């Protein structure tokens, strides 16, 4: 019982990070119907930006943890947003009217470029940071096993839920959100109604990149170690989460992220760590066989 509870806590924590990344995938797909395969690498860039910011703040003598983390979050989100904007302008906008495989290939090329850029700029070795937020709560003890809820896990939950709440409000209650939902339904009609479609799509990429950067910062603080390749692994799992939850559904992205995180945690705890990715993708295959649109997705209706 105690061990299962600990794995549940670990799985939810990891799942929230995946869900935060998956929101970016589902936003872009929901509006322009394309998968941004460079999104995972923006997550990786956000993690490296966090390392740079924390190192710089330490050199400047800014050691008050809440202030340092706030500055780091703003810095990583702003710079990563520029990456998101650049990806849309370079890899997607020129190919928006092309055949569907062209933007996909372009996004894969952008992903490879970002990976190599990070490898050249930061080196191939792992970047490590010391624990910034330590301590936590002892929830229970059973047969000598102690169930811990760390402060870092609480921070991840609070930040993720707060960001998702803000983003939900943005999509449902603001003019930008209405423009996003209009673009999702029909890009041509939206443009005819006077909405700046290019601006709306660019802002969608910017917001998704900012969320990915925050996820990268949380990942860095939780595990304490990153490298240029984490974007591929986390990106594929977050994309799996988006598909599992229903690509195009924001609640589905979060639910899919939690599902992938829990599968990984329990498989690692009760089976073998080496095959946790196999377990996650196997569940995805089973779900897509019986529910091709995912858990909360809706079937596309082709306009004729």
Query: What pLDDT, in 10s, does the model give residues 165-191?
Result: 888 888 888 898 888 888 888 888 888
Q: How confident is the model at residue 298 (pLDDT cuts 50, 70, 90)?
A: low
Residue 274 has pLDDT above 60, yes or no: yes
Sign of the Cα pseudo-torsion (203, 171, 237, 268, in order): positive
Give domain status of residue 202, yes or no: yes
Higher pLDDT, 31 or 84: 84
Give the pLDDT of residue 68: 92
Q: What was the pLDDT predicted at 299?
A: 59
pLDDT of residue 288 exceeding 80, the answer is no
Average pLDDT over residues 203-210: 91
| Alpha carbon distance 198, 204 (integer Å) | 10
Cα distances (angstroms) measured from residue 296 to each of 26, 62, 102, 162, 253? 12, 45, 28, 22, 9
Most confident listed range (27-36, 205-214, 239-248)? 205-214
Indicate left, alpha or beta for 143 from its phi (over 0: left) and psi (-120 to 50: alpha).
left
79-87 average pLDDT score: 93
For residue 303, pLDDT beyond 80:
no
Choose among 122, 127, 129, 118: nearest CA to 221.
Answer: 129
Residue 181 lies in a domain: yes
> Which residues fall within 8 angstroms of residue 160, CB to CB, at 6 or more apart?
16, 17, 19, 20, 218
Rounded percentage of the chain residues whose pLDDT exceeds 70: 97
Per-residue confidence band for 31, with pLDDT thresholds at 50, 70 and 90: confident
Residue 184 within any structural domain of the chain:
yes
Please indicate, yes or no, if residue 289 is contained in any of the structural domains: no
Q: Which residue range is the domain that position 157 belongs to?
A: 19-230
Asked if residue 37 is part of any domain, the answer here is yes
Name the residue with higher pLDDT: 300 or 138. Answer: 138
Residue 103 lies inside a defined structural domain of this protein: yes
- Has residue 249 been placed in a domain? no
- What pTM was estimated for this model as a whole? 0.90
Q: How many domains does the chain have?
A: 1
Tell me the average pLDDT across 254-274. 87
């Amino acid at each position: 019982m105690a061990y299962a509870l600990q794995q549940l806590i670990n799985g939810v924590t990891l799942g929230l990070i995946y869900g935060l990344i998956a929101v970016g995938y589902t936003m872009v797909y929901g509006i322009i119907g394309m998968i941004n395969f460079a999104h995972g690498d923006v997550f990786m860039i956000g993690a490296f930006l966090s390392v740079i910011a924390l190192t710089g703040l330490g050199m400047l003598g800014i050691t008050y943890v809440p202030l340092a983390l706030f500055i780091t979050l703003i810095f990583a989100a702003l710079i990563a947003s520029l990456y998101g904007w650049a990806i849309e302008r370079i890899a997607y906008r020129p190919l928006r009217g092309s055949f569907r495989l062209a933007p996909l290939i372009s996004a894969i090329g952008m992903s490879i470029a970002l990976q190599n850029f990070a490898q050249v700029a930061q080196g191939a070795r792992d970047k490590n940071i010391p624990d910034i937020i330590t301590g936590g709560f002892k929830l229970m003890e059973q047969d000598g096993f102690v169930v811990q809820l760390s402060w870092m896990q609480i921070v991840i939950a609070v930040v993720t839920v707060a960001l998702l709440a803000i983003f939900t409000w943005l999509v449902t209650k603001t003019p930008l959100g209405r423009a996003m939902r209009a673009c999702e339904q029909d890009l041509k009609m939206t443009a005819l109604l006077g909405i700046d479609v290019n601006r709306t799509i660019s802002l969608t990429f910017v917001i998704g990149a900012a969320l990915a950067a925050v996820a990268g910062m949380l990942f860095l603080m939780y595990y304490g170690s990153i490298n240029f390749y984490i974007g591929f692994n986390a990106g594929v799992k977050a994309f799996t989460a988006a598909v599992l939850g229903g690509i195009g559904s924001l609640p589905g992205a979060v639910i899919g992220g939690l599902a992938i995180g829990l599968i990984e945690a329990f498989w690692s705890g009760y089976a073998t760590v080496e095959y946790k990715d196999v377990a996650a993708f196997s569940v995805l295959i089973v779900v897509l066989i019986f529910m091709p649109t995912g858990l909360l997705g809706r079937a596309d209706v082709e306009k004729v």
